[in-house]
Each structure stands twice: as structure tokens, then as C-alpha cells.
Amino acid sequence: MVHYIQEGNIFKIPQVRNYAHGCNCSGAMGKGIALQFKAKFPEMFEQYKALCKENKYKVGDVFQYQYGDGYIYNLGTQKTWWEKAELEYIEKSLHKMLEMAENEGVKEIAMPAIGAGLGGRSWDDIRPLINEVASNHPSVDLYVVERYADFETKICYVRKYWEEEEVMYYLHFVGEDAVRQIEVEADKTIYLSTEHPICGDYALYDQGLSLLELTPADYITREEFEKVWHN
């Protein structure tokens, strides 16, 4: 599933330790978020540069790098830094990355709006492509930050019972926004998400995490939430 974050920093999303970004195949990481990857993971950059020099890293490829706490996925979306990204390359490298993630048991990956910005392509074209590719790999959650901002984005899972409604709610929050919701009633269970926010009279919670007045006991783990979501 894809979770879009309007503003944030992919390196400051709690619980996420795997990252991806779009790369050119000419060995340059001199601008944008690629420069942050180069600074944070210098050994990865040297390996990437060597692969490009030897012509072993091409558009549509993925250079996977394990840095200790997780993986970096360098997606070959551009031939050179001065050429635009191509939708074909983005689609091919995304498929490869998600297959790699599934094989490694990776559950969460954070990435910027690949192909847009310095990639030169319209985000309106890329976003539905990401949704389509990700739908074929449901075991991996993608957290896509659409615009860079240097603050922390929190992810949490909540279970709360409303006695007046006799309903158990399970909520998945990214920052202040609910992105998934489960309502368990006596005779049925309702599943809602940002992709499907309405189901009959049911609607995805839209009032913000801070308004719930939660106690520590209301927070649950990702595993607890996923167990109900996939039940």
C-alpha cells in the first residue's frame, strides 16, 4: 500500500529504515535528495559510481545497498542527470525494488516523489504509476514524501472502543492523518483507506490524531493492526 505524506523528510519517519530514490546512470549525485544519500552513505555512492563507470548500472535497474539498519534502493530512472526520467524506467525499477523487498522481508520503504522535480516529469503522471505497481506488491508499505520539509513525521497505530457506538476502531496514522481504518461491529467489519475513504455511511476519520485524547494503552503495534487488517 502507498501512503502519501505531503511534506516531510524520508529520513525522519519513525519505524522506517529502508529508503529509495531515483538515480541517473552516469554516476552523479550532486543535487536534490541524491546529495543527501551521497552524504549519508558515502560507501554506497562509491559503489554506485563504479557501477556506472563500468556500464553495469542502467535505466530500469536497481542497485540495492545494505547499510546496517536496512536497505537503500537506487532506482535507475534517468540515463544522465541532464535528461528527464522516463515512465518506463520508473515502472521497471519500482517493480524490481518491490520484488527485492519481498524477498528480503522488507515491510516499509520511504522515498521522495521520484521522477518529479529534478527528474523533470509531472507528478500527476507518476503518482498513479506508483499506485499501480505497488498494488501488485501489497506486503510492502511505501511512504512517499511529496515535498521535502525537515521535520519528523510520526507513524502510529491505535485501537479504541467507543461504548456509545459499541464499535472497536483500529486506526493507522501518518502524522495527524488517518490513512487506514477498521471498524469492528457485532455483525460486520468495515475497512477504509485513503484510496477507499467512503463505504456507505462509513467514512475515514478526518479530524486529526490529537483530537482523540488517547492514553498509552490505546496505542498498538503495526503487527497488531495488520493482523486485523488482513483477517
Where do the domains of the chain lie, and which CATH numbers do they carry?
2-148 (3.40.220.10), 155-229 (no CATH)
Task: Check residue 230 and give left, alpha or beta (phi > 0: left; psi -120 to 50: alpha).
Answer: alpha
- Over residues 162-184, the mean pLDDT reads 93
Which percentage of the chain shows pLDDT scores above 90?
82
Identify the band that residue 159 occupies on the pLDDT scale cut at 50, 70 and 90.
very high
Identify the band that residue 164 occupies on the pLDDT scale cut at 50, 70 and 90.
confident
Task: List 204's β-bridge partners, or say none.
Answer: none
Contact 3, 140 (CB under 8 A): no
Report d(CA 48, CA 32) in Å as an integer: 17
Q: What is the pTM of this model?
A: 0.84
DSSP state letters, 50-64 = HHHHTT---TT-EEE
Report d(CA 138, CA 154) in Å as an integer: 21
Residue for grid cell 521522477: 115
Contact 136, 100 (CB under 8 A): no
Q: Cell numbers for 100, please give them.
A: 527485492
Phi, psi for residue 125 in degrees, rounded to 5: -85, -35
